[in-house]
Structure 1
Amino acid sequence: MRVQPTFMRRRSPLAIMLVSLALLMSFSVVVASNTNETPSNSITESVDSQIRNLNESDGETFTVTVDGTNLRFSPDTIIIKEGDTVRFLWENQLLPHNAVERNGVFDSGDPERNVDYTYTFNVTENGTYEYVCEPHEDLGMIGTIIVEPKPIPEPEPEDPADEDDNTTAMSVGSGEISGFLFAPWFIGVIVLVGFISTRSDQFQLGLILEEEIDAVLIDDDGGEEGKTLVESYSARVFTLCALYVAQGIPWGFITVTFVTYLAAEGFAAKDLAMLLTLGTLPWSVKFFWGPIIDRYQYRPMGRRRPWILIAQTGMILLLTLMVFFIDVEKDVTTIAYMFLVYNIFTSLQDVSTDALAVDILKPQELEKVNGYMFTAKTLGGMIGGAGLGTIISYTGIRGALIVQIPILLAIMMVPLYMRERPGEKLFPWSEDSHLAFEDAVSSNQNFREIIGKVKTAFSLKSTQLGILLSLFVSLSHFLIPLLPLLFLRELDWSQERFNATKGGLVLIITMFGYLAGGYLGKKFGGKSVIIYSTTIGALVTAFWGLTESWWGSEFYLVFIWSLAEFMMAIVSISIYSLMMRITWSEVGGTQFTGYMAMMNLSAIIGYQIAAPLSERFDYPTLFLIAAVFETLIIATALFIDPDETRRELEDVTIEQQAPESITITPAA
């Protein structure tokens, strides 16, 4: 009798969850279709808006004083218009006076010898008002105010140029696509996922991706008693996590703090998208760094450490330049391009740090330390998001940039005073070690060999699909520059409140998503986690868009936002593991960096389509489109064979398949 696979026996709860979400979506479609405002409400709101505009317009001020000799108001009768203000003003009078309207419309208070009191007659308050001085009313101290209606000006024909300006200032467009039109797509996705659930073995859903991931290790002894990175596990974890915190800070600052600041200052979606594009662009081409850092090394200080120090020095110098030589409060365009250069150094540090991790981590440490590193990056994102988001409200952009300099200097101390291997020197001017390094493999490497191996690695179907998957994974990021506009302009959130939520709570939820993704991948299989989590995440995004009438609830918004980020964090960490699985160890650094670069290119594509989509569609439709983009991950990941690289390339006779060895011999 055929034994049912373990994962097959567990699919019922997942199926029930998917069906429940589908029913919730159907319900929300009905809710969304019944929450349209009636014409009478629209007319009422239009009239109220017009009245508010008239009230806010500047009116004239008329001053009424006191004739203390004759006990009369001066003048005792005035004619004004709606929107004008009457000021009752007198000083050092012999007797106390006040001004009280007979029906209680205004009242200057108790009779005083010195009074300065104003009252503005708003629109709809036209008419004749009689007021008195209470102590001297019987003596004829009575005044009259005649308020005439204020004419409502007819709107002037709009200049086409003004219309363009208004369009730029608007958050999003007004185009709408009914949720019913999206329903067949999501139903089809659910049916597809249900179909492949019945064929989990065929699609390798239960395969544990990370159980056999190999690393090219440099150290031979595996000892844990020394202080260098290859000798000490704690030193490895501390150093790698510190470097990932350094990468997370600018990411959090740009994607949360700076974008939110510009949204609050009135910048349009296309401006925010351009900033995010410039900030992400260096990450999309960072695969060029891989061959360079593999080819050129200063071995007396370590294989990767010199590149890390160069990158961090560049980051600190760029921040210093922005703070002291550029008007950061006004020249936002220049700042955006400076961040482009800044992130070139950040991407160099990222590639060097990943290469360092591949060099020094042992196979059994990869999964655990990878989780620590992404958690550290999330912590850096919280510092750059919630932390600097709070600071920027008090100090402006300049203050937020200044704070980053000492933080990066402190982090730079970690690699500055940490050696990769025994015998390496800390600084170029330090005394040479009595040990000489012989790295036969690296000395024979050249760009032609590296490129040839990369072409071999990407000749397989699964590695090519990995590129396509990487290009799909971040298309829904077009929502990132739109969320500040939604929360600040449409939902009236403050800048500080949005920064604290996105850069704090949401990032914490994302961090737990990374941890949960690693756990679920080991329990159920990486591909199954990708497919099921993507399905649930896409349905959550769609549900968010279909429940616009609930957006007034802060609890609901934070919950649905956090849930969407949690699910996509699970997807992301599982995709990283899948990319590692299909990466050939011969060109591991370059190939894996290529996948990461494609993911960043995917984000850039998402940022670039943000402006045209937001100019055309309303927020609910934009969320539905984002959900469709997310489901594209399923169709690509489904056909990736995680074992193809090992199966097809394990017999390739390349000498470098053996672990790279470095021998240390006494110098002559």
Structure 2
Amino acid sequence: MAKETTIRKKRFGRALADNALTRYITFSALYIAQGIPEGITFFAIPAWLAMNGKSAMEIAAYVGVIGIPWSFKIIIAPLMDRFTLLAMGRKRPWVIFGQLGLIISFLIIGLVPDPLNNLSALMAAGFFISFFGAFQDVATDGMAVDVIPENQQARANGLMWGAKTIGISASLLVGTWLINNFGFSIAISSLSIAVATIMLFPIYFKERPGEKTMPWTSGKVSPDSKQTQLRSWRHIFKSLYKVVRLKSSLVFCIGVFTVGLMFGLIDTLLPIFSIQELGWTNSFFSNVFSITTVVGGFLGMFIGGYLVDYFGKIKMLSLYLVFLTAFIAVFGSLSNLWSSNLVVYAFILSYYTLYTFLCIAVFASAMHLCWKTVAATQFTLYMALSNMGRAAGSAMLGVLKTNFSWESVFLIIAIIPLIMAILIQLINFKKHRITVDSFVILNQKFAAPQVIKD
């Protein structure tokens, strides 16, 4: 009986570092929490604005502004690496803080008066949602890099990205229905309840055994956290420079920024294109988007990580990018078939399935390129560059649509994943890993090799 209890504790324990099931459940929940506000701010609101006659330039400006804070992640990450309430874990205190800010800012956007005619206030409120969303994202990713073993990273990223996709789709579907039936304020405020509920996960689960649940509860600093915690700004930035300047890392930086342009362009394009060009309603768009992205999310959760593990990162990245180029180019060339909803459904389903698979491969690749000493900051640098590209892509759409037809816009976008597919052929993960593993930590007082229990 005692043995059975010990096994059960190991399997369903509260410490993320000690068992896989706890990790998978907690990180999936936190990624759903990221997906809910993203579904509202990046998809439901632009579709609602398009439905109410706002121009492509106005909608692109809104999406561009709310995308800016995601580029701040590289400023936030070193702060989290440098300071924390270590007795609660290296990143968990920041996860809780980011989640709290996300809840408050999510409530505030529901208070914007007459949002259709007050786009400046809507942008400002959306900006703060994105800021705290980025904050929570940095802390969650940093905690994931700290506690997920390398052999579980692709699988975990599959679950996390699948969960985020489901969160985006569900919030878009429910949010659009609430906006159309109860109004903007009630819709936004109602969905904040789901975000608040998920906050229970980082409050309940700990990074490592023996740590405090909250600052006023009992517990102590984990030896693993104490070893890994950096206590020098100079060491953080010197170590980051040392690993980022490596060839594979530099190429990856350019690649993720490039593909971020595609993400931003397509995400901003779809609600405008489907509503103003195809004549869909915002409800119809949200239904199609939600169903197709949930399918892509489930496929990503169950086979996305497995494919990367089995066939390798470069091979799968290349395959996904080439397929994306082909799908976008073919769809842009077949404007005579846009009147067929089946064709448009097929395109959206294909794009978001490949998008989910590509994100899983990109995240797993970014984690593999990280040096444990500055893993959170380095990983965040890659994600910040991708988000810079996304914000730039969102802002670019207004300019492209003003000067080109929809057919030309699609064909221009199709070039972007092809560029990344060419760039990543210059990445050598094995050589990069050997170089990183050979690094000698100059000052053991400020940093030490990470120890991860599984």
**TM-score, normalised relative to structure 2:** 0.90
> 1:296 — aligned with what?
83
After superposition, residues 506-517 of structure 1 pair within 5 angstroms as 506-513=293-300, 515-517=302-304
Q: 1:395 to 1:225 in 2, by over 3 A?
A: closer
SS in 2 for 1:658: coil
Q: Give the Cα separation in 2 of the matches to 1:514 and 1:628.
A: 28
Q: Percent identity?
A: 26
* 8 Å contact kept, 1:225–1:231: no
CA spacing shift, 1:336–1:629, aligned 2, 3 Å = same
Deviation at 1:401, TM superposition (A): 0.7
For residues 9-33 of structure 1, give each alpha carbon's deviation from its aligned partner in whole angstroms, at most 9, with x where no partner exists.
xxxxxxxxxxxxxxxxxxxxxxxxx
> Quick one: higher RCO (CA 8 Å, sep 6+), 1 or 2?
2
How far apart, CA to CA, are the structure 1 residues paired with 2:332 and 2:74?
Answer: 36
Structure 1 pair 382–497 and aligned structure 2 pair: CA distance change class (3 A): same
Distance in 2, Cα, partners of 1:615 & 1:441: 55
Aligned residues of 1:228 and 1:422 also touching (Cα < 8 A)? yes
Separation in 2 of the partners of 1:469 and 1:483? 23
- Aligned counterparts of 1:332 and 1:263: Cα–Cα separation in 2: 13
The answer to whether residue 259 in structure 2 is matched with residue 468 in structure 1 is no
Is 2:449 the counterpart of 1:658? yes
Q: Using the alignment, how far apart are the partners of 2:25 and 2:229 within structure 1? A: 30
Distance of 2:86 and 2:240 partners within structure 1: 24
* Corresponding residue number in structure 1 for 2:236: 450
| Of 256, 275, 289, the match for 1:488 | 275
1:361 corresponds in structure 2 to 148
Cα–Cα, structure 1 residues 313 and 397, in superposed 2: closer, same or farther, change >3 Å? Answer: same
Residue type at the aligned position of 1:355:
G
**In 1, are the aligned partners of 2:159 and 2:300 still within 8 Å (CA)?**
no
Rate the CA distance shift 1:483–1:586 in 2: closer, same or farther, 3 A.
Answer: same
Structure 2 residue aligned with 1:246, among 3, 8, 33?
Answer: 33
Structure 2: distance between partners of 1:652 and 1:524: 28
SS in 1 for 2:429: coil
Q: Give 1:326 shift.
A: 4.2
1:426 aligns with 2:213: yes
Checking the alignment, whether the CA contact within 8 Å between 2:46 and 2:59 is kept in structure 1 is yes
Report the CA distance between 1:396 and its aligned residue: 2.3
Larger gyration radius, structure 1 or structure 2: 1
Deviation for aligned residue 1:248: 0.6
What one-letter code is carried by the residue in structure 1 that aligns with 2:365? L
State the AA in 2 paired with 1:482: L
For residue 404 of structure 1, what is the amino acid of its counterpart? L
**Structure 1, gaps ≥5 residues long:** 1-221, 663-668
CA distance in 2, matches of 1:342, 1:361: 27
1:19-38 matches, cutoff 5 A: none
Q: 1:331 to 1:558 in 2, by over 3 A?
A: same
Cα distance change of structure 1 residues 647 and 364 upon mapping to structure 2, 3 Å threshold: closer
Work out the CA distance in 2 between the residues paired with 1:448 and 1:261: 47
Which residue does the alignment assign to 2:184? 397
The aligned amino acid for 1:636 is L
Name the CA shift for 1:383/1:616 in 2 (closer, same or farther; >3 Å): same
TM-fit CA distance, 1:500: 0.8
3-state SS, counterpart of residue 285 of structure 1: helix
Matching residue of 1:126: none
Alpha-carbon shift at residue 338 of structure 1 (Å)? 1.2
Asked if 1 retains the 8 angstrom alpha-carbon contact of 2:256 and 2:385, the reply is yes
What amino acid sits opposite 1:658 in the alignment?
P
Q: Does 1:609 align with 2:400?
A: no
Q: Which residue of 2 is the match for residue 551 of structure 1?
A: 338
- The alpha-carbon deviation at position 318 of structure 1 amounts to 1.6
Q: Distance in 2 between matches of 1:534 and 1:256?
A: 23
Aligned to 1:259: 46
Partner of 1:161: none
> What is the 5 A alignment of 1:299-318?
299-318=86-105
Q: 1:443 to 1:563 in 2, by over 3 A?
A: closer
Farther-moved stretch of structure 1 (574-583 vs 458-467): 574-583
Asked if 1:536 is matched to 2:323, the reply is: yes
Give the number of the structure whose residues are more often helix, by fraction. Answer: 2
The size of the alignment, in residue pairs, is: 439
3-state SS of the aligned residue for 1:481?
helix
Q: Quick check: 419-428 or 288-297, which moved more? A: 419-428
CA deviation string 1:156-188 (max 9, x = no partner): xxxxxxxxxxxxxxxxxxxxxxxxxxxxxxxxx
Q: Counterparts of 1:649 and 1:414 in 2: how far apart (Å)?
A: 34
**Structure 2: how far apart are the matches of 1:441 and 1:333?**
46
Distance (Å, rounded) in 2 between the aligned partners of 1:524 and 1:443? 34
TM-score by length of 1: 0.62
Instruction: Please give the per-residue CA displacement for 1:577-634, whole angstroms capped at 9, x wherever unaligned.
Output: 2222222222211111110111111111111211111011111111111111221111
> Which residue of 343, 358, 372 corresponds with 2:159?
372
Alpha-carbon distance between aligned partners in 1 of 2:222 and 2:361, rounded to the nearest angstrom: 38
1:342 aligns with 2:342: no
Q: Is the 1:328–1:398 contact (alpha carbons within 8 Å) kept by the matching residues of 2?
A: no
**2:245 maps to 1:459:** yes
2:154–2:360 contact (8 Å) kept in structure 1? no
| Structure 2 contact 154–306 (Cα < 8 Å) conserved | no
Report the secondary structure of 2:110's partner residue: helix
- Within 1, Cα distance between the matches of 2:358 and 2:21? 29
Distance 2:14 2:173 in 1: 35
Structure 1 counterpart of 2:20: 233
Q: Is the 8 A contact 2:158 2:304 kept in 1?
A: no
Q: CA deviation at 1:286?
A: 0.3
- Say which structure is richer in strand: 1
